[in-house]
Amino acid sequence: MNLPPSFSVIVSSYNYQDHVVDAVDSALQQTVPPLEVVVVDDGSTDDSLARLHARFDGDARVRIIAQANAGQLAAWLRGLRDCSGDVIALLDSDDLWLPNFIETLGQVYQARPDVDYVYCNLALFGAREGLMLDRRRHRHDRDLGLSVVLGCFAPRWQGVATSGNTVRRALFQRILALPDDQISQWRTRPDDCLFYGADVLGGHKFYLAQALARHREHGRNALLADRSATARLRYEIRRERLLAHYRRQIDASPRLLTLAKSEFRTKPRPLWSDWRAYCGLAWTAPEGLLRRLGKLAAITAYMLRSRR
């Protein structure tokens, strides 16, 4: 039987003095305790550091690191240097975990050593309530398989906000191995680096529908920031630069499209939206018409079998 993985928790914090202690406490109060909790204060100008030291100094489970303000991605990188667990779990300093968060996600890693990335739904609280992932496809657990071809040529946002994400440490290190100029560009919304990087770099993802973490909704959430056309274009440009970096890491070329059929078969219960995406990928592959038609037929046959 596989041994349960150890979890290292990285809490990135910036000016959340009223919430950060509660966030760390929620990580420490797990039914399966983490190996360590690394809190990286990203240059807070409020009372965050003082409150953290007052509460956790002397607690061997918690390490508190202060750095000059450099953004959330830089905070993750700094925290990673102090982590030794098999799996990295990320927690925003204004969010909370349910007590069985690590236990439940850890069971997936233990049962499925082939899985590299497990994320769960989030329950919203504060300014808005409900589930963060509330579409029909989010109602059930799903093995998402591999998404290298999809990530390179039809990237999707396959993940959730920070506090629902866990990643095996080796993959997390590869995802965060970005050039300095890109690290500075992802001061906010570095979750996108996780989603797109994990897919292109070959991470096997698994989604749990249960909301095992609570995401605080308020006006300072990065996802609720400027949504103007200018801001959106700037985001799309930096996303494309990010994807280009990950594609270079695997020497991606149009020949990858010939693997669309094989990749589709790594998904035990694909959705019809997956079927459409992979048919499109297979159809644009640089190979003869008959081979492409044969792969479309094989993708469709697999889809029909998986729905029985």
Q: What is the pLDDT of residues 44-55, one digit of tens each?
A: 999 999 999 999
Of 249, 273, 296, which closes a domain? Answer: 249
241 inside domain: yes
- Residue 174: how many other CB atoms lie within 10 Å: 17
Same domain, 157 and 278: no
Domain of 185, CATH number, reads 3.90.550.10
- Residue 2 maps to a domain: no
Are 296 and 150 part of one and the same domain?
A: no
Do residue 244 and residue 259 come from a single domain? no
Residues 138 and 284 in one domain: no
Task: From 230, 249, 268, give the residue that closes a domain.
Answer: 249
| End position of a domain, from candidates 201, 233, 249 | 249
What radius of gyration, in Å, describes the C-alpha atoms of the chain?
20
Same domain, yes or no: 239 and 291: no
- Do 12 and 160 sit in the same domain of this protein? yes
Distances (CA, A) of 151 to 47, 202, 208, 301: 41, 9, 20, 23
In a domain, 278, yes or no: yes
Give, in order, the Cα–Cα distances in Å from 120 to each of 58, 115, 127, 161: 32, 14, 21, 10
* DSSP state for residue 269 in the 8-state scheme: S
Coil, helix or strand at residue 52: helix
Within a domain: 282 = yes
pLDDT in the model for residue 247 = 98
173 with 54, same domain? Answer: yes
CA–CA dist 272, 21 (Å, integer) = 43
- On whether the CB atoms of residues 105 and 222 are closer than 8 A, the answer is no
Which residue type does 2 have?
N
Residues 6+ apart with CB under 8 A from 216: 19, 92, 94, 95, 96, 125, 126
Tokens describing residue 193: 């680096």
Q: How far apart are CA 176 and CA 178, in angstroms?
A: 5
One domain, residues 230 and 259: no
DSSP 221-257: -GGGS--SHHHHHHHHHHHHHHHHHHHHHTT--GGGG
Cβ neighbours for 73, distance < 8 A, ≥ 6 positions apart: 176, 178, 183, 186, 187, 190, 193
Same structural domain for residues 164 and 261?
no
Quote the pLDDT of residue 104: 98
Residue 224 is predicted with a pLDDT of 54
Q: What is the pLDDT of residue 220?
A: 60
What one-character DSSP code corresponds to residue 163? G
Residues 6+ apart with CB under 8 A from 287: 258
HSE of 304 in the Cβ direction (CA atoms, 13 Å)?
A: 6
pTM above 0.85, yes or no: yes
Degrees to nearest 5, angle at CA 57 with 55 and 58: 120
d(CA 7, CA 198): 18
The whole domain housing 116 covers 7-249
Q: How many CB atoms lie within 10 A of CB 74?
A: 23
297, 189: one domain: no
How confident is the prediction along the chain (308 residues), in pLDDT tens digits per residue? 788 999 999 999 999 999 999 999 999 999 999 999 999 999 999 999 999 999 999 999 999 999 999 999 999 999 999 999 999 999 999 999 999 999 999 999 999 999 999 999 999 999 899 999 999 999 999 999 999 999 999 999 999 999 999 999 999 999 999 999 999 899 899 999 999 999 999 999 999 999 999 999 986 665 555 679 999 999 999 999 999 999 999 999 999 999 999 999 999 999 999 999 999 999 999 999 999 999 999 999 999 999 88
Structurally, the chain folds into a number of domains equal to: 2
Q: Which helix (H) or strand (E) holds 217?
A: strand 205-217
Q: Please check whether residues 172 and 131 belong to one and the same domain.
A: yes
> Does a structural domain hold residue 192?
yes
Q: Write the Ramachandran bin of 228: left for phi over 0, alpha for psi from -120 to 50, otherwise beta.
A: beta
If you search the block for the tokens 């274009």, which residue do you land on? 233
Residue 11 bridge partners (DSSP): 39, 91
Q: Are residues 183 and 263 in the same domain?
A: no
Q: Is residue 1 part of a domain?
A: no
